[in-house]
Structure 1
Amino acid sequence: MTGMSDISRRRFLGTAAGAAGLALATACGSVSPQSAAPSASKGGKLTLTMFAFLGGDLGKMPKEFAKEYMASHKNVELKIYEQSNSVGYTKMLAQKKAAPDRPLVNFGFFNAQTSVQGADDKMFTKLDYSAMSNAADIDERFRYDDGIGIGIGIDQLGLLYNKQEISQAPGSWADLWNHAHQGKVAFFSFPWYAVYMAAKLNGGGLENMEPGWELWKREAKQIRLLVESNPQYLNVLSNGTAPLTAYFAGTGQQWINSGAPLTYVVPKEGAIPLPVNLQAVAGQSQSQLEAIHDIINEMLSPKWCARWAETSVEVPANTKAELPENLAGLPAFSKATSDGFQQIDYGIVGRNNAEWQKRWETDVASRI
């Protein structure tokens, strides 16, 4: 088993969910950046704003949860701010600078990249796990030593290929640079994970990426193109332009469910885990934080973790949550896959991401 329990400050990096553009309406209320800060409504209710991912079915579970929670907690009003983390977090930072005691949102769903950045920016506040009964059931790898956030679901990076174009299924990260697939590989923008796995399989790792850089500099012609959007990605994978990639299991499964001729493979060296965290934002009153702890605790229950897994196509972080029936038989969601996740110190990834991206552009992308 390759766990992450020995990482003292485990933060996580991934691509931001959703699309650009501001979309703030929800079934539970409409939120604008100017009005999203916590307040008491005219009826004396405690009003809290939850950050939810924009795109696909990612807003379903938060909206369903908010409706049920408000029905049993008449003194709380939950509004939902739907946005990609990349766009929304920029607005959160601006609000923090303008009025640190009136955050744009109070709590919500944050991807790995935002969790790394938020910890460094002191955007998030520590959660008291002892005050949340369901926290004990969360996979220990996604309960963090600093208490900044807690996992609700885990996506993963593995291999995705067009089964009509590639007859022999890839089974290793090394297949990305196997000359049998020369000119057939696509990546989304900057795939740090491809460089990392090339480094690891050639004597390096996150703290020594040189073997990975040298490999991809040498093997840049493996890559047919770099895509800039999910629709473009799906198109080039499906039509055979570039039938092999490394990408999210969740997104891949959604494409497969839509009829795309694709198959997701867990590499023999292990998939790379990318958790989604629930975070409480700093700068709030004690009463707000107490309510947020209660809300997050409910969201961590087996029922709601399973619902999040179903709508986001992720592994539930609660070890007592049952996998949705439509996911239970898939290799990506097996216990063996979870137990075999790559051990990643995302603090290292976060600190080096900007520099790595520049190097990818100069050393690799320029040679494609």
Structure 2
Amino acid sequence: MRHSTYRAAMAAGLAALLGATATFAQTKSLVVAGYGGSWEQQLRKDVFPAFEAKHGVKIDYVAGNSTDTLAKLQAQKGNQLIDVAIVDDGPMYQAIQLGFCGKLDGLDKSELYPAALFKDDKAVAVGQTGTGFMINTKTFKDKSWATPTSWNDLKDAKFKKLLVIPPINNTYGLYTLMMFARMNGGGEKNIEPGFKVMKADVNPNVLVYEPSPGKMTELFQSNQGQIAVWGTGRVQAFANTGFPVDFIYPKEGAPILLASACPVAKASPNPLAQEFIKTLISAPVQTVLAKEMGNGPVNTKVDVNMPELRMAPVGERAKLVIQPDWDAINAQREDWTKRWNREVER
């Protein structure tokens, strides 16, 4: 298996980090809600076992999109079952605003990039991802198609029913709408141009608006999808399986997505929630997530020059990163979602 020698070394380092003493042995379970797909697979393989062994705990993982997790927090208000929420930065700002996140105590900020920090330590980023295009390199080569370089290339008629975009309740779909608004005289505070382009020029090319990471990869494996809007980490994880895909940074910019975690506020918070999040942002785990998934690390001690980060928004590629205005987005996101469902994804 790829990285087998590396994995053994990292396992030893992670075991040393976690130790062998069950500090909170009395805690029997920890409920973590986060992403599915490659994220869930990697956490189950490289993070959960050592953490469970140290703390004598069983991690119950609830997989779902960020908006699904936020909806669960809203539905469980006053009786939260989730201990740790892992969601995109946009929904995380909403979760904090709604009072769903407790404070991270004793957060060592000296090892973290400033972009990973949230106000009042109510959350912390656990990975950085750039948003752009995933292409099937074999198909593009066989058809002699030029590599797309612009968001406007998604309007090209040759991609009719070959383009896959996540829906607006997924950050990648939201970013697609935002970029077309920005490029046509609007932006987060004037989304109208984005809707106009999506309906008239992009929608005819869309095979499906797919929220599931697993189904996204299936669409490419079955040769139905040939180009998609997705994130660097997802594409790198898919490429690591040997499938011929690559990530393209559009010249107009790649909106940044910060996978973020917070301890859920509740009357009797699980003390292991804090420990789990600190484990996620530790150098050993951040290195594993970078090596295996291509996630841009948030810990400064991780080597960003490793070949596995060739797609990640680090180094020179970081210059193409765009920071969205989440205050403006979240103030209107519900209305945008309703309109998207009426006018775009019908």
| Band of TM-score, shorter chain | 0.7 to 0.9
Give the whole-Å Cα distance in 2 for the aligned partners of 1:52 and 1:263: 29
Q: Do the aligned residues in 2 keep the contact of 1:176 with 1:222 (CA within 8 Å)?
A: no
2:288 corresponds, among 307, 320, 323, to 307
Partner SS state of residue 188, structure 2: coil
Question: Could you tell me how far 1:237 is from its partner in structure 2?
Answer: 3.8
1:173 corresponds, among 144, 147, 151, to 151
Q: Percent identity?
A: 22
Aligned to 1:80: 59
Name the amino acid aligned to 2:115: R
Partner SS state of residue 123, structure 1: coil
Partner SS state of residue 132, structure 1: coil
- The answer to whether the aligner puts 1:163 opposite 2:137 as a matched pair is yes
Alignment CA distance shift 1:192-1:120 (3 Å): same
Question: Could you tell me how far 1:188 is from its partner in structure 2?
Answer: 2.5
Partner SS state of residue 216, structure 1: helix
Question: Could you tell me how far 1:332 is from its partner in structure 2?
Answer: 3.0
1:198 corresponds, among 174, 180, 194, to 180
Q: Do the aligned residues in 2 keep the contact of 1:327 with 1:333 (CA within 8 Å)?
A: no
Alignment CA distance shift 1:320-1:205 (3 Å): same
Runs of at least 4 residues off by over 6 Å: none
Alignment CA distance shift 1:241-1:55 (3 Å): closer
- The answer to whether the aligner puts 1:132 opposite 2:107 as a matched pair is yes
User: What count of residue pairs does the alignment treat as equivalent?
Assistant: 312
Alignment CA distance shift 1:91-1:319 (3 Å): same
Aligned to 2:117: 143
Q: CA RMSD in A?
A: 3.2
Question: Could you tell me how far 1:91 is from its partner in structure 2?
Answer: 4.6
Alignment CA distance shift 1:243-1:350 (3 Å): same
Structure 1, 239-248 or 63-72: larger mean CA deviation: 63-72
Partner SS state of residue 109, structure 1: strand
Aligned to 1:250: 233
Q: Do the aligned residues in 2 keep the contact of 1:172 with 1:269 (CA within 8 Å)?
A: yes
Name the amino acid aligned to 1:115: M
Aligned to 1:332: 312
Give the whole-Å Cα distance in 2 for the aligned partners of 1:107 and 1:183: 38
- The answer to whether the aligner puts 1:282 opposite 2:259 as a matched pair is no
TM-score, normalised to structure 2, is: 0.76
- Specify every segment of 5 or more residues in structure 1 that has no aligned partner in the other structure, as ranges: 1-40
C-alpha deviations, 1:273-307, integer Å up to 9, x for none? Answer: 21111211112558x55x65455334322112212
Give the whole-Å Cα distance in 2 for the aligned partners of 1:253 and 1:44: 37
Give the alignment of 1:1-368 within 5 angstroms.
Answer: 45-47=26-28, 49-51=30-32, 53=34, 54-56=36-38, 58-61=40-43, 64-65=46-47, 67-69=49-51, 76-86=55-65, 90-97=71-78, 99=79, 103-112=80-89, 114-128=91-105, 131-133=106-108, 135-166=109-140, 167-179=145-157, 181-182=159-160, 184-190=162-168, 191-220=173-202, 222-228=204-210, 229-238=212-221, 241-284=224-267, 292-323=273-304, 325=306, 327-328=308-309, 330-366=310-346
Q: Do the aligned residues in 2 keep the contact of 1:310 with 1:324 (CA within 8 Å)?
A: no
Question: Could you tell me how far 1:221 is from its partner in structure 2?
Answer: 5.3
